[in-house]
Amino acid sequence: MIKFAIGVVVLSVLSAHALDSLADYHGGDEISSFSDGEESSPTTSRVTDLSSGKTGRLVYPMQYEEFDGRGTLSVPEGSTGKVPAMIIVHGSGGLGYRERSWESFLRRHGFATMVIDYFGPRGVTKNSRFQPVPALDVMAALKILATHPQIDPQRIGAIGFSRGGNMVIKTANMDATWVGHTLAAHVALYAPCVTIALTSSGRSGAPILILIGSKDSYSDVRTCVAEVDMAKKQDNRDVTLKIYEGAYHGWDGDYTGIWYHPARKKSYEFKEDAVVTKQSRQDVLEFLNMVLKPSG
């Protein structure tokens, strides 16, 4: 492990001996979530707050949009008292295996989870030529989550992947004037590193963790290093960048190959990596345990 003064950590995690079992990174539990373009079922009633303790599929208002938000909320089994929560934000491929596995992993470690679907309400799919980056969808999820009696509104974070990671980074520049609350942690995996150091009307002030692979062809490592350096030196941001040597885009997914991105009109290489997945889970959990301090 090599540490740089600007808060960048380069990790070598290529040894297969570091992998214990598939259960460590494969989420065995499924979640019920809206798929790309799927309409909400007749039994999914719209809620304006979660004071009733409702979990499962949710349809809720988004004050900055004319349509409702969608998400699936789960809480850890047997939890007592208020627990921390993580909003899970998918990437350009939409909802799938990655979101299910992270949901299961986080919930097993004491976090409530809300997997949001920002494609479905807009009629967008992984094949759409235009894909939005609606950071305010994350804030709308924060607002509704903060009303749940089992969730601590001061310990809600967000984790996003690729395009979703970029959304999570953007929320770091949003303070309580947006929805009455701020996120307590921002985690981005292989996200384009932009907007970290931009001047804005406010910011969450919460720590930021960015994870990226050295062989990522979608998210440029050099740009990430430069952005983190600027964020720390010029804006005194609490941001950490970890680079996994030899890792490609989407290491924690279920696809290896070349994928054409219709919205970007370019092709990118994806590669599953069980060892990097395991390491990234450990790094995220260590970060969240420090920042959100879950019990149990």
Instruction: Report the CATH number that the domain containing residue 24 is assigned in CATH.
Output: 3.40.50.1820
Instruction: Give tens-digit pLDDT for 183-223.
Output: 999 999 999 887 666 555 568 889 999 999 999 988 889 99
Number of H helices, E strands in the chain: 5, 12
Q: Count of CB atoms within 10 A of residue 272's CB? A: 15
- The DSSP annotation for 221-273 comes to HHHHHHHHHHHHHHH---EEEEEETT--BTTTSS--EEEEETTTTEEEEE---
Residue 202 lies in a domain: yes
Residue 296 lies in a domain: no
> What pLDDT was estimated at residue 241?
95
Residue 130 lies in a domain: yes
Does the structure show a pLDDT above 70 at 111?
Answer: yes
- Asked if residues 144 and 46 have their Cβ atoms less than 8 Å apart, the reply is no
Residue 257 lies in a domain: yes
Single out the residue of 198, 213, 281 nearest to residue 250, CA to CA.
213
Instruction: Give tens-digit pLDDT for 14-28.
Output: 433 333 333 333 333
Q: CA–CA separation, 240 vs 228, rounded Å?
A: 7
Task: Work out how many domains the chain is built from and give that number.
Answer: 1
Q: How many residues does the chain have?
A: 296
> What pLDDT was estimated at residue 17?
33
Residue 49 lies in a domain: yes
User: What is the pTM assigned to this prediction?
Assistant: 0.86
The domain of 108 spans 2-291
Look at the block and give the residue holding tokens 């990437």.
91
> What pLDDT was estimated at residue 218?
87
Instruction: Tell me the pLDDT band of 99, cut-offs 50, 70 and 90.
Output: very high
Q: CA–CA separation, 97 vs 22, rounded Å?
A: 14
Q: Work out the mean pLDDT of the chain and round it to a whole number.
A: 84
More confident residue, 10 or 69: 69
Average pLDDT over residues 101-122: 96
Amino acid sitting at position 36: D
Q: For the chain, report the end-to-end CA distance as a whole number of angstroms.
A: 29
Q: CA–CA separation, 131 vs 88, rounded Å?
A: 18
Kindly provide the residue ranges of all beta strands, DSSP E only, lying in the chain, ordered along the sequence: 2-3, 8-11, 56-60, 69-74, 83-89, 112-116, 151-161, 185-189, 208-213, 239-244, 257-261, 266-270
